[in-house]
Amino acid sequence: MDDRLRVFTGSASARLGVQVCETLEVVPAAYECRRFPDGEMQIEVQETVGGCDVFLLQSTSPPVEQNLMEFLLLADACRRSGARRLTAIIPYLGYARQDRRADRRSLGARVMANLIATAGFDRLMLVDAHSSAMEGFFDIPLDHLTAVPLLARAAAPAMHEHSVVVAPDLGAVKRAREYARLLRLPMAFVHKTRLSGENVEAHGVIGDVRNRAPLVIDDMLSTGATIEAASDALRAAGALEPITVAVTHALLAGRARDVLRKAPISRLIVSDTVTIEPPAVSQLEVTSIAPLVATAIRRAFRDESLSDLCVPA
């Protein structure tokens, strides 16, 4: 690659960043993150970035505030050091689910967008953001990349003529349709109501799942409540067990590991947008998005189209 390319990787995406740089055949750009006794951070770039195209890779996964601040400070250091063009790559965007205002609640997705905008990025790349509505919160060009083809490819060997793709709620129907197209399978969806952050109620399944092996898909698995409710609904509708689950972002927060241990899940196929900490989950299969991110960086650096890497319109 051209020596004007610089790829910085934040601590939240360190493992992914190493793979991305290996694919690009570049050395990860170096910086130092100092922590002061009061908890504040200070970033010092240890590379020449003047006149360079700089790509910053960092998921704003838990702890969101800490990872976001590191990301913003790194961007500021690069900008003040003379970066010619600054591109943000955020594999997992925290607060993206807070994209609709209700009553007197805050609009977290908009606040995140405003904070990211302060860093002076020229371009932003997200991976399977919770809603396509996120694009409307940003004034800079946004490429909404998708890991669905990679995850569908990983799931394909276990699929057969009696498999069915299942969206666990209405919000995942568009994503399920893309899985169904790639795998050439029928689809169904679960009618779900979210009662709280950890409680979900399923009202039934729309579509034929009886005596079929379900592939339940979603953009993320947080507490596991949605997957738990979908499993119960599928069992009641006569679907075969165990089921396969494919999600882009495996947050595994709260009681998620307990839910997965009890649920009839044989395979949990996820990407590495979020670093999964121990304890291990026995069903877990990780598919790396490094090829996707590396291709996006290479094309963006060369001012080539990314349209075939993005979520279908």
What is the set of active-site residues?
A: 192
Dihedral sign (CA 138, 143, 148, 154): negative
Rounded Cα distance, 183 and 246, in Å: 13
Contact 247, 272 (CB under 8 A): no
With beta carbons less than 8 A apart as the criterion, state whether 221 and 227 touch: yes
Residue 157, phi then psi, degrees to nearest 5: -60, -25
Q: Give the burial class of 135: count Cβ atoms within 10 A of its Cβ; 0-12 exposed, 13-18 middle, 19 or more buried.
A: middle
DSSP assignment of 66-103, as one string?
A: HHHHHHHHHHHHHHHTTBSEEEEEESS-TTTT--S--T
Distance CA 301, CA 268 (A): 34
Between CA 125 and CA 55 the distance in angstroms is 10
Q: Nearest Cα to 263, choosing from 242, 238, 233, 289? A: 242
Q: Quote the tokens at residue 275.
A: 């670093």
Span between the terminal Cα atoms of the chain, in Å: 31
| H or E segment and range at residue 228 | helix 225-236
